[in-house]
């Protein structure tokens, strides 16, 4: 039905009316005092979200722009780095690092498995010459619904004493606890169409003091993504180039809503929704793709048996106007993914499970009585 779509993908995620209304305002001058005050407020709000006193800079661009900025602003040609790779976005880190001539050691895990923190510990402990400059990894691997143990890995990096941690928190920030200061993470990249409850187009890069120290000697060529001018203008509540002014309006509205809800409530909601989706899918007889205990609070990948995941996804879209995400690359047709990230309430989660089991029932390939998924989901959701 026209205009009735519900997004249950890992981005773009649903956007509140309050945020859309802010987005649709007439633009103002990006060098005006009014806009400067928006930059000032959103910068503080972003620091709140990152639980940090570090700089958090806003770049007009996709999340990939922030990921690349994290690498090219801290490292130099030939630098040795470790990249964690257990999915499509881990792979992307490797590609970015190689595009700039870094010496990349890849620590892989099978898609669906978390990165092995001991592999990182071992490499870092045996690096007695302190050649490793950075450990680069994805926190919530969107392609597989796996959450990696960023806290433990960043501890190993801190013990190493010389390397920095660069983390893609694109689908984890605003979904689960990432205390940047407490965990000692140096670089965090994220994008607006995720936990931020707003449309795509802005990306964010948080830089620790150590990351800025690395920046001083970084020699990789850059211009638009050179963070020095962003830092310099951010200190005056401004931007080096014309930013996406209307997306800033939306950013302020969204972060204000998030502050009203509170960080702990936001994290609890995402954890409850992960649990509710997992329970519902298992009750329907479907298998969770991510290893037990490593499900992302932002997204769940499910590997259905006896049916092409793309067909199921198509039917759910056509029958119920719910957009689920498909599998990426070799997982296409093998998994579908339910996004429960950002502006998602209990109704959305219950509805998605209900629609999936109703569709499976209609296709005649459901082994359990329709309703079992909803019952299991509802039980979890009651535990507020």
Binding site for its own copies (CB under 8 A): 3, 5, 7, 9, 11-12, 14-15, 20-21, 23-32, 60-65, 68, 95-96, 99-101, 191, 193, 199-201, 220-226, 240-247, 323, 325-326
Residue 372 CB, nearest approach to its own copies (Å): 29
Least CB distance from residue 357 to its own copies, whole Å?
A: 22
Closer to its own copies by CB, 143 or 366: give it. 143
DSSP string, 218-281: -----STT-HHHHHHHHTTT--SS---HHHHHHHHHHHHHHHHH-HHHHHHHHHHHHHHHHHHH
Q: Which is nearer to its own copies, 193 or 366 (CB)?
A: 193
Q: Name which of 101 and 262 has its Cβ closer to its own copies.
A: 101
Residue 127 CB, nearest approach to its own copies (Å): 25
Task: Tell the smallest beta-carbon distance from residue 306 to its own copies (Å).
Answer: 25
Coil, helix or strand for 118?
helix
CA–CA distance from 156 to each of 50, 127, 257, 327 (Å)?
21, 12, 35, 32
- Between residues 90 and 240, which has the closer beta carbon with respect to its own copies? 240
- Is the Cβ of residue 16 or residue 361 nearer to its own copies in the bound state? 16
Cβ 23 to its own copies, closest distance in Å? 5
Distance of CA 19 to the CA centre of its chain: 20
Q: In degrees rounded to 5, what are phi and psi of residue 234?
A: -60, -35
Tell me how far, at minimum, the Cβ of 11 lies from its own copies, in Å.
6
The Cα–Cα gap between 378 and 283 comes to 12
Query: How many C-alpha atoms does 99 have within 13 Å on its Cβ side?
Result: 13
Q: Which is nearer to its own copies, 165 or 171 (CB)?
A: 171
Give which of 9, 4, 1, 2 is closest to 344, Cα–Cα.
Answer: 9
Alpha-carbon gap, residue 149 to 138, rounded angstroms? 10
Q: 100 or 294: whose CB is closer to its own copies?
A: 100
Query: Taking CA 5 as the corner, what is the angle to CA 367 and CA 289, rounded to the nearest 5 degrees?
Result: 40
The CA-CA-CA angle for residues 236, 240, 244, to 5°, reads: 100
Minimal distance, residue 193 CB to its own copies, in Å: 6
Residue 155 or 334 with smaller CB distance to its own copies: 334
Nearer residue to its own copies within complex by CB, 24 or 262: 24
Give the nearest distance from C-beta 21 to its own copies in angstroms: 7
Shortest Cβ 266–its own copies spacing (Å): 20
The smaller minimum CB distance to its own copies, of residues 12 and 280, is found at 12
Strand partners, 167: 137, 188
Q: Going edge to edge, which strands form the sheet with 336-339?
A: 6-8, 322-326, 336-339, 299-303, 287-288
**Cis amide linkage into residue 224, ω under 30° from 0:** no
Do the strands 187-191 and 164-168 form a parallel or antiparallel pair, or are they unpaired?
A: parallel
Contact between residue 147 and residue 40 where contact means Cβ atoms under 8 Å apart = no
> Whole-angstrom Cα distance, residue 352 to residue 85?
30
Phi-psi region of 93 (alpha: psi -120 to 50; beta: other; left: phi over 0): alpha
Smallest gap from residue 157 Cβ to its own copies (A): 23
């Amino acid at each position: 039905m026209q205009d009735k779509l519900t997004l249950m993908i890992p981005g773009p995620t649903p956007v509140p009316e309050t945020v859309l209304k802010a987005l649709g305002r007439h633009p103002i001058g990006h060098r005006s005092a009014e806009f400067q005050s928006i930059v000032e407020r959103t910068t503080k709000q972003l620091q709140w979200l990152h639980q940090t006193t570090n700089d958090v800079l806003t770049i007009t661009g996709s999340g990939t722009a922030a990921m690349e900025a994290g690498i090219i602003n801290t490292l130099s040609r030939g630098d040795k780095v470790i990249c964690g790779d257990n999915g499509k976005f881990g792979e992307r880190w490797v590609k970015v690092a190689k595009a700039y001539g870094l010496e990349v050691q890849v620590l892989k895990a099978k898609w669906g498995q978390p990165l092995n923190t001991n592999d990182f510990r071992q490499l870092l402990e045996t690096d007695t010459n302190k050649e490793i400059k950075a450990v680069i990894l994805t926190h919530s691997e969107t392609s597989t619904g796996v959450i990696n143990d960023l806290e433990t890995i960043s501890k190993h990096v801190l013990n190493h004493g010389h390397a920095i941690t660069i983390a893609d928190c694109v689908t984890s920030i605003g979904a689960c606890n990432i205390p940047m200061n407490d965990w000692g993470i140096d670089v965090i990249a994220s994008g607006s169409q995720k936990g931020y409850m707003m449309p795509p187009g802005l990306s964010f890069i948080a830089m620790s003091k150590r990351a800025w120290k690395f920046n001083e000697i970084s020699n990789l060529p850059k211009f638009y993504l050179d963070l020095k001018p962003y830092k310099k203008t951010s200190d005056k509540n401004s931007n080096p180039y014309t930013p996406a002014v209307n997306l800033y309006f939306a950013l302020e509205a969204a972060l204000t809503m998030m502050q009203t809800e509170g960080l702990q409530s936001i994290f609890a909601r995402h954890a409850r929704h992960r649990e509710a989706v997992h329970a519902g899918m298992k009750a329907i007889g479907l298998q969770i793709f991510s290893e037990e205990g490593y499900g992302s609070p932002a997204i769940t990948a499910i590997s259905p048996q006896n049916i092409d995941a793309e067909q199921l996804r198509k039917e759910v879209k056509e029958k119920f106007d719910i957009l689920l995400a498909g599998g990426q690359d070799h997982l296409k047709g093998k998994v579908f993914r339910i996004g429960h990230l950002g502006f998602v309430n209990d109704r959305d989660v219950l509805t998605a499970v209900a629609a999936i089991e109703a569709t499976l029932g209609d296709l005649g390939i459901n082994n359990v009585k329709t309703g079992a998924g909803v019952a299991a989901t509802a039980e979890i959701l009651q535990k507020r």
